[in-house]
Amino acid sequence: DEWNTEHHGNSGLVQRVKDSEISTKQAEIQTLDFLEKYVNPSASPMCGNTICQDRRFLYNYMPKLEEFFHYRHIDVSTLKELAVRWKPESVMVREGESAHLALSDIHDSIKELKHYREAFIDV
């Protein structure tokens, strides 16, 4: 679609995927090997922004990795939408554009989740 073509093309992700010598299956195995060092299967929910898309991708292309996560997930975008409706003054204003790369998106999601924990949920 247009959004993915623009953002993932501009970030260089599409080209890096084309140039990569690691198959989807190898990436799945390497990711599972990494995660298994730190967490038990089914113990950790996926967490991030709009992760239903990530979950769909994993279900279709990396099913063993998708199964590794707990069936529940924590979608930071849901907290953002609730804050917009219930406590607009708590909505986090992002500084600059996201790079739309995995590691920077992870850091952005962690920062945003921490913000909503303090400013919206008050825990």
Inter-CA distances, 106 with 19, 89, 111, 116, Å: 23, 24, 9, 15
Taking the mean position of all CA atoms in its chain, how far away is CA 76?
A: 9
Active site includes 71? Answer: yes
Tell me the C-alpha distance between 47 and 72, whole Å: 9
Does the CA dihedral 55-57-59-63 come out positive or negative? Answer: negative
Tokens 């989740």 belong to residue? 113
Catalytic entry in 38, 59, 61, 71: 71
Supply the residues annotated as catalytic.
Answer: 71
